[in-house]
Amino acid sequence: MVNHLGIAWQATPIGAIDPEDFYDFQVNRPVVEIEGGQTQRLIWPTTRISLARAQPSHAPDVGPEISVTPPTGLSRDVVLVHGIEPNMRWRAFSEELVQGLQSLGV
């Protein structure tokens, strides 16, 4: 669901929580992307944060008398958090996530 919203709202990735202290990699293994027999990318399990803007930053300022519906359909910015549950250190994980969100003004 969060992936779908991120695509529909044209969300931009803005951060991720370092997975090293929070995941057991024997339980949540990284994913390897292979193309043409060559490893292209290693994706570690983590929690990613994206921002969907109500109005693109490049949109012209049209003044208060003209109503412009942003292409996302959003009336305000939305922060999307997507990831798997941590395997350990839940309190530290939660604190790091909340601090990140507070730094965005959420």
- Residues 3-27 have pLDDT tens digits of 888 888 889 999 999 999 999 999 9
**Cβ 44 vs Cβ 19: under 8 Å:** yes
Least confident stretch, 6-10, 30-34, 85-89: 6-10
Backbone angles phi, psi at 42, to 5 degrees: -115, 120
Of 16, 50, 44, 48, the C-alpha closest to 30 is 44
What integer pLDDT is reported at residue 74 of this predicted model? Answer: 74
pLDDT range class, residue 62, cuts 50, 70, 90: low
Of 52, 48, 51, the C-alpha closest to 84 is 48
Other CB atoms closer than 10 Å to residue 47's CB: what's the count? 21
Is the pLDDT reported for residue 49 higher than 60? yes
Backbone angles phi, psi at 60, to 5 degrees: -70, 150
What integer pLDDT is reported at residue 98 of this predicted model? Answer: 94
SS3 assignment, position 78: strand
Q: Which residues pair with 52 in a beta bridge?
A: 78
What distance in Å separates the CA atoms of residue 49 and residue 14, rounded to the nearest whole number? 6
What integer pLDDT is reported at residue 40 of this predicted model? Answer: 87
Report the predicted TM-score, pTM, of the whole model to 2 decimal places: 0.70
